[in-house]
Amino acid sequence: MKKSRGFSLMEVILALFIIAIISFAVSTTMLSGSRSNANNRERTRAVAAAEAWMDRFRSYSLPFNAFASGRDYDYGYDYTSDPIITASGDPNIAEITQEWSDFRFHVETTQFSNDPVLWRIKVITYYKKKGGGEEDIQLVTIR
C-alpha cells in the first residue's frame, strides 16, 4: 500500500471554500467601515460649516434682521455674489464658496428678547451621504 503524499481534491476544495467565506466577511466589514468613515468625515465638515455661520453671527459681522424670515443657500451657491455675505467684510468669500459647495443651508434668526436685545439663531446644514441620501445638522443658539 502506498502512502498519500498530498491533499485530496475534497480537502483542497474545502480549504478554498473556507478561505472564500473569510475573505468575503473581511472585505464586507472593510467596505462598511470605509463608508462609515466617509460619512463621518462629511458630517464633521457639515458641523464645521454650521459653526462658521454661528461664528459670523457671534462676531456681529452678519445682520441678524437680514435672516429674520429665513434664508436658504443651495448646494454650490456663489457667496461672492451675495450682498449680505460680501457686506460682512469677510476676506475669504471665494474660499467659503469653495468649502461650502458640498452643503446647503437654512439660516434663520428670531428676536428672542428686547431688553437686552437677544436673537435666536438657527442654522440647518444639509449634506449628502456617501452611498445616497441626505442628512442635516441643526445648531441653535441665543446671542
- pLDDT, tens digit (0-9, with 9 covering 90-100), for 124-142: 999 998 878 999 999 999 9
Provide the pLDDT for residue 35. 78
Please indicate, yes or no, whether the overall pTM of this predicted structure exceeds 0.75: yes
**Using one digit for the tens of pLDDT, what is the confidence trace for 8-64?**
889 999 999 999 999 998 888 888 888 788 889 999 999 999 999 999 999 999 999
**Contact call for residues 79 and 85 (beta carbons, < 8 A):** yes
Please enumerate in sequence order all residues whose Cβ is within 8 A of that of 89, keeping only pairs 6 or more positions apart, or say none. Answer: 61
Torsion over CA of 79, 82, 86 and 91, rounded to 10 degrees?
10
Supply the pLDDT for residue 18: 94
Average pLDDT over residues 66-76: 96
Which grid cell is 55? 461664528
What distance in Å separates the CA atoms of residue 84 and residue 105, rounded to the nearest whole number? 15
Question: CB atoms < 10 A from the CB of 114, how many?
Answer: 7
pLDDT tier, 106 (very low <50, low <70, confident <90, very high otherwise): very high
Which amino acid is residue 48, in one-letter code?
A: A
Beta bridge partners of 117: 114
What residue segments make up the domains of the chain, in order of their start? 9-142
